[in-house]
Structure 1
Amino acid sequence: MLLLSHPDGRVEAYLDRVSPPRTLAPGSPVALGACTLTLLEFLPSSREVERVAPDPTNAGPPAFLVSIGASGTPAWVSDGHGAARAPDGTAVAVLTREFPLGFALTLDDAVALYWPASSIPRAYFSLVRLSGVDGDSVERDRIETNAPLLRNGYRLYQSGMDQNAPYRWSSFAVAYDPGVPFVAAGFYMLMAGLLWLTCVRFVARRSPPAGGPAEVHG
């Protein structure tokens, strides 16, 4: 489970399978990296209007009421709702580690495009605003699954969004690899070396050997 804390107090929750699988027994704390998680309640199918509740249609995603960290504040988390909420419906901020990106990201709109006469999405993306930490410079951009946003060495990929219109939230996968420019530079140097070697061999084959036998015409 990945929780992303926002400056306004919202928390995005992303649930995924862990390897090897670990069992969450109600009331039994489980250490997850830098935090401790305790399962309080489980809903096999949930929906969110003003607060998380059981879904009578059994079509919603599973939800977990957990206490996270030393504060022990109960919060509902689900991979389909995009936020961690207290039982009364208010957003809960839980932050165990902070990674400064060097910029602020604001979601302007989440867009889903569907195939004609179909409920199957063909594309979804997010329109965002980027600003410096001081809030001075503002830049607008677009984040897609196969077209990530690259800033300060971070790559932000579109990983999910609200499943119901109007789309209120988007989730992003963040990747950071400062060695990418060096790998690219090494690749181009290798290609340049192979091209140079090919040219040298081609010129050497076309040049006549020095000091060879002279041809005499009588």
Structure 2
Amino acid sequence: MTDDQLEAWLLTKINRRPLVRSVSALEGFLSAIVAGPSLSNPLIPIHAALGIGYDPYDDGSTPEYAALAAAIIHYNRISQTLSEAPLDFSPRFIAKAGGGVEPRPWCQAFYTAVELSRKHWKPLLDINNHLHELLLPVLIYCTDKKGRPVLGPPRPAPETEAFLEHEAHRNIAVVVAAIRDHHHVTWYDEPVPAGTPYR
């Protein structure tokens, strides 16, 4: 399944409730899974992201199987990049027709993944913890379940709009790599060894 086919499949209105609706959002979700606390089975949140259950479809011929296989390819690429070449990590934001990027779907999906495992992300969600700063470039683009800005309403000013439009998203790649390093040390009590795949 190509990325265009995957995007079309995610947008298909059928009896399925995916947590993401675009490839950009899927990449944001998967980036949180890779960078976040260790999971015994990353397939569980990936299934949730795609809105598919665990019914038998392992004959390799169904759209669900193809979508899952495509998502795993994305997951493995993100994992390998953050493990072996974190400086090369680049969030896949939506490109705007007139130039620039739209980071909100990516960031919102990242936050959705965080919410699925909120208790394990607690230190980074605690505004009194210095680690909270690592999430700020992502959270600034996110809303809660009621549609309210997670960080509160931004101050209305041209400077704020310009910052959100052109600057804030530039720090996301760096903080995601730092979040991944933090969680690796937390769970394995050692720095991330060069060339070690994320597990």
Of the two, which has the highest radius of gyration?
Answer: 1
> Given the two structures, how large is their TM-score scaled by the length of structure 2?
0.20
More strand by proportion, 1 or 2? Answer: 1
> Given the two structures, how large is their TM-score scaled by the length of structure 1?
0.19
